[in-house]
Structure 1
Amino acid sequence: MAKLYYRFGQMNASKSIQLLTVAHNYEEQGKKVTLFTPAIDARFGRGRIASRVGIAKDATIVEEGTNLYDVVQTEHPDCVLVDEVQFLGAHHVRQLSRVVDELNIPVIMYGLLKDYRNQFFEGSEAAVLWADQIEEIKTICADPDCNRKATMILKLKDGKPVYQGEQIEVGGNELYRSVCRRHYFNPNLDGLM
Structure 2
Amino acid sequence: KSAVGEVSKWLEEMIKAAGEAAKVGGTGGSEKIGDADNNKGAVADASSVNGIANGIKGIVDAAGKAFGKDGALAGVAAAAENDDKKDAGKLFAGKNGGAGAADAIGKAAAAVTAVSGEQILKAIVDAAGAAANQAGKKAADAKNPIAAAIGTADDGAEFKDDMKKSDNIAAAIVLRGVAKDGKFAVANADDNKASVKSAV
Using the size of structure 1 for normalisation, the TM-score is 0.27
Structure with bigger RCO (C-alpha 8 Å, 6+ apart): 2
Structure (1/2) with the larger helix percentage: 2
Structure (1/2) with the larger strand percentage: 1
Using the size of structure 2 for normalisation, the TM-score is 0.26
